[in-house]
Amino acid sequence: MTVLTVRNLDPDVKTKLRVQAAQQGIAMEEAVRRILTRAANEPQATTAMSNDLGKRIQARFAGLGEITIPPRHPMRASPFANDATSA
C-alpha cells in the first residue's frame, strides 16, 4: 500500500471528513480512501467535453435545421468613391 500525506489541508475540511466518516461508522482514513478511489475511477469529463466541443455545439443546434445563405453580389461603388480619387 502507498502512503499519501496531504499538507496544508484546511482544518474545516478535516473536521467535515471526520464527521462524515463517523456518520458512516468508518475511520476517517477509510472515508478518505473511498473518496479518492471514487474520484480516481470517474471518467475525466472535462477532457472528453473539451475534445468534443464542436460536436456538442453541432448537436445542440441540429434540430434547428440548415439555413439558406443567399448568393452574394459584388459590392456597389460608394457615391463618393470618384471624389476621393480626384482630390
- Note down pLDDT in tens along the chain; length 87 residues: 889 999 999 999 999 999 999 999 999 999 999 999 999 998 776 655 566 888 888 888 888 877 888 899 998 888 886 665 555
- Domain residues for the domain of 13 are 9-42
Identify whether 31 is part of a domain. Answer: yes
Identify whether 70 is part of a domain. Answer: no
Identify whether 2 is part of a domain. Answer: no
- pLDDT for res 63: 80
Identify whether 20 is part of a domain. Answer: yes
Structural domains counted in the chain? 1
Identify whether 54 is part of a domain. Answer: no
Q: Which of 45, 44, 21 is nearest to 31 (CA)?
A: 21
Identify whether 24 is part of a domain. Answer: yes
The pTM score is 0.49
Identify whether 34 is part of a domain. Answer: yes
Cα separation of 32 and 11, whole Å?
A: 15
Name the H helices within the chain.
11-24, 28-41, 45-51, 53-61, 81-86
Identify whether 74 is part of a domain. Answer: no
